[in-house]
Amino acid sequence: MRSIKGEVMLNTPAEKAWEMYRNDEIISKINPEMLALAQYIEGDGSPGSLRLFKLGPALRSYVKESVEKIEKVENYPSMWPMTSTHLYIK
């Protein structure tokens, strides 16, 4: 299976970024050309959750995300690493 890893630096507090990412309505409005819809199929974003992303007209497909782990970094309160698996569906 192919995989992609990456990091994104945001100019916003971690709590605000997580609130935006975990909220289906908000994340769908950030860039609708790239992401048309986000919907939790199972769970609420905690480990074990399953989420469906319908990609926008620029990409025309779906991605399923399975959240495996969310960590809080002790000495860096603005850092919240997340481990997840994404399945790309054409």
> pTM score, two decimals?
0.59
**Span 21-50, pLDDT tens digits:** 788 888 888 888 878 888 888 888 888 888
C-alpha distances (whole Å) from 25 to each of 22, 31, 40, 43, 75 are 9, 12, 11, 16, 31
Arithmetic mean of pLDDT over the chain: 74
Query: What is the model's pLDDT at position 5?
Result: 61
Domain ranges of the chain: 34-89
Assign 81 a pLDDT band (cuts: 50, 70, 90): low
Query: What is the model's pLDDT at position 74?
Result: 66
DSSP β-bridge partners for residue 85: 66
Sequence-separated (6 or more) residues with CB below 8 Å from residue 43 = 49, 50, 51, 67
Residue 86 predicted with pLDDT over 80: no
List the one residue out of 47, 36, 40 whose CA is nearest residue 71.
Answer: 47
